[in-house]
Amino acid sequence: MSIPSSFSAILSKETNEGIIPLISEVSYSELPDHEVTIRVHYSSLNFKDGLSASGKNRVTKKYPHVSGIDAAGVVIEDTTGTYQPGDSIVINGRDLGTNTWGGFGEIIRVPVDWIVPKPEGFSFEHAMTFGTAGFTAMYGIKRLQRELITPESGPILVTGATGGVGSFAVLGLAQLGYKVVAVSRKKEARDFLTQLGASHFLSPEEVLTDSPSPLLSRKWAGAIDTVGGVLLDALLRQMYSKGAIACCGNVLGNTLETSIYPFILRGVSLLGIDSAFCEQPLRKEIWREAALLPFDQLPDGFYKVVDKKAMLDEIPKILEGKVQGRVALTHQ
């Protein structure tokens, strides 16, 4: 499999108006010196990609840069001999797309230990519909299960339920038999969430409270929280004894003001989800399980596939909270 002298990518550059992503032709020599070169067929859009591609929150330290923390494609060359040319692989997390050029380019070069063989029968398109968002949701579900939160434990709350992580959390929990309560301010998305498996719906305002009490009425056996901030504080105070929250987002802020009482009087667990550096054996297990999800039964509008030109329009939307479900990028 030949290596091209250049390739097309969404390249974020410094301009007088700030850092702007543009479709550019990039020299192959710009790629980092790692072991495995990959032709990317699909990538996907995550909130972190929006930050990186737009130069926000110092997610990426150096520009010009190619974002894209997910990639699915075929091996062109592996200097270690671990993979053969033509092998189908997936990558999510690690440093891909943050400070190592990522899946928004048609070619990437990465360390061999970042790679996961693509599960048999799992299309590139579905793999990137899942991507980091689905991976994070599944990782969060596994962390709840480690805390012995079962379908019999009680209802599970999912915040930011129409986003990429939230929608996969609703789907994954429902598939496992949990009673899922979806939190979203988008009333028009209730049919969408019902098709994913949510049984009840709440607005964020219905979860938030003005009460200063460090402990509130017990409502939830577990939660997957994608927004953080004051909503996370409210959830902590509403958990069942021995309940657990998997925390993976900071849309409402990167600080948490709460009390110690949910932890020492109810035994509540707050579980951090850092999917970028998940251990490789668990990473492979999650990808194998992802291939078993019912992608053919997903509701209309759960995901869409766009080219690089259309992706330029999607990047600002995800930062504004205007993306429902998932957006996959095709390089084909």
Q: Domain coordinates of the chain in residue numbers?
A: 6-118+301-330, 133-275
70's enclosing H/E stretch is: strand 70-78
Q: Cα(85)–Cα(76) distance, rounded to whole angstroms?
A: 5
> In angstroms, what CA-CA distances link 58 with 65, 94, 95, 99, 153?
13, 16, 14, 10, 40
Beta strand 6-15 with 18-27: parallel, antiparallel or unpaired?
Answer: antiparallel
Per-residue pLDDT of the chain (332 residues; tens, 9 = 90+): 667 789 999 999 999 989 999 999 999 999 999 999 999 999 999 999 999 999 998 899 999 999 999 999 999 999 999 999 999 999 998 999 999 999 999 999 999 999 999 999 999 999 999 999 999 999 999 999 999 999 999 999 999 999 999 999 999 999 999 999 999 998 888 999 999 999 999 999 999 999 999 999 999 999 999 999 999 999 999 999 999 999 998 888 889 999 999 999 999 999 999 999 999 999 999 999 999 998 988 888 889 999 999 999 999 999 998 888 899 999 98
Q: Looking up tokens 């959830």, which residue turns up? A: 235
Top CATH class, 133-275: alpha beta
Q: Cα(200)–Cα(180) distance, rounded to whole angstroms?
A: 7
Residues 6+ apart with CB under 8 A from 102: 43, 49, 66, 67, 68, 69, 70, 71, 96, 108
Q: Which of 251, 313, 277, 294 is nearest to 48 (CA)?
A: 251
Q: Cα(167)–Cα(330) distance, rounded to whole angstroms?
A: 21
Tell me whether domains 6-118+301-330 and 133-275 share a fold: no
3.40.50.720, 3.30.9.10, 3.90.180.10, 3.30.70.870: CATH of 6-118+301-330: 3.90.180.10
